[in-house]
Chains A and B, each alone.
Chain A
C-alpha cells in the first residue's frame, strides 16, 4: 500500500521555541490516522505543516510522494484541511460559502449538492453564516472539507463544538469517505472518537511521538480498558 504521508525527522521552531522535535511517522493510503496529545503537544503544528501553511525548520514531509516544501501548490489540490478554530465568511449564506469553495474546483455544482447534504442544515443553508450556532457552523465547515472529495483530509478536532448526535453523524460520514478512498489524518481530544475512527494512532507529547500503533495494540501494551487510559499512562 502506498504511503499517503511520510514524515521524517520533522523539526519546527517558532523563534527559539522548539515546537516539534524530530517527529517521524507514515500514514497509509485509505486509513484514518489519529494524532493525540495534550494541549501544546504540537498536533496542530504538524497538521498545519502538512497543509502547506507553515514551513519546516528541518526534516521532510511527502504527501503522495510530493514534497510539501517544493510542491506546495500541487499538494493543495490533493488535500482538504479543516482547522480546529475555523470560521466561515459571515456575510455569505451557508450555501454561498460552499459555492465559494467549490468555485476553486471543477464540477462544482455536484460538489455543492454534496456539501449541502453533509451539512444537513435544512432550509437554514440559505441563511447567513452569521446567524448560525457554533454547531451549525462546524457542520458547514466539515461539509466544506469533505465535499471536495480530497485524496487526503486533514481534520483538526472535526467534531469540536458538536453535540453527541451530530458528532456521531460526522464520524459516520468520515468513515464513508474513507471507504470511497479518502485518507484521513485527524487530531482529537475525544478519545472515544479516536478509538471509534482511527485505524492507527500516534501519541504526541512536547513535540515528540511517545507511542504509536493501533488502538487495540496500545490498549494491550498498557493493559488499559480504553485509549484514554493508554493516553494517561503514556504521558506519565
Chain B
C-alpha cells in the first residue's frame, strides 16, 4: 500500500504541472466570462420597451394595455402624425417595438372582420436579443386574439364555456413503453427522461477524455523523460505501477472534469431554465431507486476503469507525450459513439449488428444503465456491469503482461535500433 501511495503521489505531482493548472483556471474563467455575457444579454432582452401609436383612438387599446402590463413590459404612448415621426419618437424613447393601431381597427373588430396591427421592431444590432422582443409581442397579440374571441363567444352563447368552443376536441394521451402504460405524450416522456439522464453520458465522456488523456500523458512522459527504465528496475510490482498510474491520472482527470463541468453548468445555466413540464417521473412510477443509484455508480466506476486500463495498454506504444495524446483518440472515439447514439436513438432499437458493436464498447453500459434504471430494468444493467468487469480483468492482465515483457520498452527500441544497433 505504501508503494501504491508513493506512486500515486508522484503521478499527481508530475501531471499537475503549472500548464495544467493554468489551463484549468483559464477554462473556468472562460466559462464564467461567457456565462456572464449570456446572462447579461438575456437580462437586457427582458427589458422590452413598447411604444404605441393609436391612430384609431380605439377602445381596444385598454385591452392591449391590460395584457401588456401583465407581462411587466414598459409601455408608452406616442402622439405623432405619421409613421416616420412615430419611429423617430420611439427611437428617442429607446423603444424596441413600435405598435401602430391603424384607423378603422376597432370598427373591423366590432364587425367581426380581420383587423390589422402594424408592428415595427427597432433593431439596434443583429444579436439574438433583438429577436426576443418581437416574439413577446406576437405572444401578446395571440393573447389579445383569444381575449377578443372569448368576449364574442360569451356574448353569442352566454351559457357555454368559450374554451369548449375554441378547442372542442381534447385528447387524453398515453404512452406504452417497456410493458408499461404511462399517461402523457412521447414528447413529454422523452423530455423528462432526457432531462434525468442526459448528464450521465456527458460526464462520462468528459471523464474518459480527461483521465484517458492523463494516463496516456503519464506513459508518454515516462518515455520522453527517460524515467521508465529506472521505474521498472525498482523493487515495485508491475501491478502497483499500473494501478498507481491509473489512480494518479484519475485524480487529475476528475479534477479537470469537475472544473469543466462546473464551468459548462455556469455557462449553460441561463439557457437551461427549469423544464416547463408539470409532471415528474416519480408521478409516473419511473424514478430511480437507491439500488438503481448504486448500480449506476458501479457502472460509471467500471467504465472509467475500463478506459484507464485500455489507455495504459495504448500508452505502452507511445513514444512521447505528443504521440500519447494522439493515441488516446481511439478511446475517446469509442466513448463518443454511444454518447451520440444515445442522444438520438434508443440503443435497444438499433439494428442487431450495430447493437452488438455498441454493447461491445464498455462505455455504452453506463449510458444504457442511466435509462434502463429509470424503468427498473436491472438485468440489462447487471449484464453490463459483468461485461465491464470481465473487460477490465482482461485488459489489466494484458497490461501487467506487457509491463513484464520487453514490449514496454521495445517500442522505442524499434526506432533507435536503426540508429545505434543495440
Contacts and interface: CB of A to CB of B under 8 A. Distances in A.
B237 A88 contact: no
Contacts of A207: 422
Interface string A81-104: 111011111111000100011011
B13 interface: yes
Contacts of B16: 91
7 contacts: A19-B422, A55-B406, A76-B233, A86-B229, A92-B13, A92-B14, A104-B235
A86 B226 contact: yes
Contacts of A101: 234
A1 interface: no
Cβ-closest 5 pairs across A and B: A40-B421, A103-B6, A81-B233, A87-B226, A87-B225
A124 interface: no
B16 to A, nearest CB: 8
Contacts of B2: 103
Contacts of A86: 226-227, 229-230
A54 B409 contact: yes
Nearest to A100: B10
A42 interface: yes
Given A100-B10, A104-B235, A88 B229 contact: no
Given A40-B420, A55-B406, A207-B422, A85 B226 contact: yes
A192 interface: no
B229 A14 contact: no
Interface string B1-34: 0110010011001101100000000000000000
Contacts of A51: 229, 233
Given A39-B421, A89-B14, A81 B229 contact: yes
Residue of A44, A45, A53 most packed against chain B (CB within 10 A):
A53
A45 B422 contact: yes
A48 interface: yes
Contacts of B232: 52-53
A41 interface: yes
Nearest to A103: B6
Contact of B413 (A14, A80, A90): A14
Contact of B13 (A53, A76, A96, A103): A96
Contact of B3 (A20, A90, A96, A104): A104
Interface in B200-255: 225-227, 229-230, 232-237
A54 B421 CA distance: 16
Interface of B: 2-3, 6, 9-10, 13-14, 16-17, 225-227, 229-230, 232-237, 404-406, 409-410, 413, 417, 420-422
A83 B229 contact: yes
Given A53-B232, A83-B230, A91 B17 contact: yes
A14 B410 contact: yes
A41 B226 contact: no
A83 B235 contact: no
Given A39-B420, A45-B422, A104-B235, A81 B230 contact: yes
Contacts of A122: none
Residue of B2, B233, B409, B421 most packed against chain A (CB within 10 A):
B233
Residue of B235, B404, B410 most packed against chain A (CB within 10 A):
B235
A90 B421 contact: no
A77 interface: yes
Contacts of B10: 89, 92, 100
B319 to A, nearest CB: 14
Contact of A55 (B14, B17, B405): B405
A103 B233 CA distance: 14
Given A20-B422, A40-B421, A86-B230, 16 more contacts: A14-B413, A17-B417, A39-B421, A41-B422, A52-B232, A52-B233, A53-B409, A54-B409, A76-B235, A76-B236, A91-B13, A91-B14, A101-B234, A103-B2, A103-B6, A104-B234
